[in-house]
Structure 1
């Protein structure tokens, strides 16, 4: 079944975390042709430099409709779309009473960028292909610390959007991966050394799997959603059991 990716073109939207790179590496190892995209040329170049394999890289602003449409017109026909870290760095972690309306609206950029990316892809995405979106475990489990209301809202919007699309644009398959706390992501990178140490200790003691998530583990989940032709409308947690 893994041979089904040989020669297939897969577009990955996002190049700012270890998850993006791990997905690209796995796809390349299975013979896929990979197109990596990001709004920042600098981040895109840095990501490409870390990938061991031939990859096509394109700069695109996924909050600008014209930029999105030009991007998909340029890359032409392709087989699978993976949307990873769109807008994640703009996610506001603040209490509702302390958050400005402008900040809250900015936190919803993840949904709007995902919307534009998916809509822009449909003219050139194969009818027997797939779309894999990225949400978060925050849609299943909320924090007593608070401050994640807009984060949860944006990720919930992505998840519900994906499930509805699985019916609307069938037979194209649409699935959603919902990672928990994963090393080498924007959230992980925003923590200090002591916070990372505390999180690692927490994972060992609190999670059934007794370790923090790794980018490669999310990449394996994404691959299963891409390859399995009988999976659509799925929201798949990759969370080490935190939602149990």
Structure 2
């Protein structure tokens, strides 16, 4: 099973896991459309992707913009949603509710809006692949908002798999992956997190965007998975 000749829309596809998905799909011969909030990110991604890839600026929290985006894109085969603000880690006592809502607006409600307006354009045999995280089932202190988002994304995936059938809807759950989503941590704290995580994981290292991208490609290719949560966490849920 191949993605050659299929059209894939990746919202959040200009960096991190999303870019790795777009790049890997393009290598298989897929026609890739990436979208991101910042025009400079879109331009930089298109310089790295194969010729023929398309890019758009999109604020996933703006429903009118999302509706207009899919009207421009037209018919396609697979929707991937990886957009998200940097990871929010703060105690309940120190939490800023406005910031917490913004985090959920992009990661949860942005995905919801993308599926709502994108699903009617998905061709027969197509799919949606969303993104959650291991915090939903293995939270740490300071992850109340992230854990809430992850749990909601898993439930949303199962509900959409039934409501949108026969369009398949699945979600990938990465563990600790070295991406820009950790950029708000200091370099010292980030290095400490990666080192301690690597030491604890059965695989002995933290993940890369390319590691996780393989799960998205598998879910797009495979015609018998829907409502599934695919963990790519180096064994993090085991320890």
Please say whether Structure 1 and Structure 2 have the same fold, judged by a TM-score greater than 0.5: yes
Per the alignment, residue 59 of structure 1 pairs with 57
Helix, strand or coil at the partner of 1:216: helix
Are 1:192 and 2:186 an aligned pair? yes
Aligned length: 237
| Deviation of 1:158 (Å) | 1.5
Q: Deviations over 1:139-188 (max 9, x none)?
A: 11011xx221011111221121011111111000000001111112312x
Are 1:37 and 2:35 an aligned pair? yes
| RMSD of aligned alpha carbons | 1.6
Are 1:222 and 2:216 an aligned pair? yes
CA distance in 2, matches of 1:237, 1:207: 14
Ranges in structure 2 where 5+ consecutive residues have no aligned partner: none
| Deviation of 1:18 (Å) | 2.1
Q: Deviations over 1:126-151 (max 9, x none)?
A: 132000000111111011xx221011
Helix, strand or coil at the partner of 1:98: coil
CA distance in 2, matches of 1:195, 1:96: 20
CA contact (8 A) 2:176 2:233 kept: yes
Per the alignment, residue 77 of structure 2 pairs with 79
Helix, strand or coil at the partner of 2:120: coil
TM-score, normalised with respect to structure 1: 0.91
| Deviation of 1:17 (Å) | 2.9
Q: Within 5 Å, give how 1:159-174 maps onto structure 2.
A: 159-174=154-169
CA contact (8 A) 1:17 1:186 kept: no
Ranges in structure 1 where 5+ consecutive residues have no aligned partner: none
Q: Deviations over 1:48-80 (max 9, x none)?
A: 223344310011221112111111111110000
126-135 or 40-49: bigger deviation: 40-49
CA contact (8 A) 2:168 2:226 kept: yes
167-176 or 16-25: bigger deviation: 16-25
TM-score, normalised with respect to structure 2: 0.93
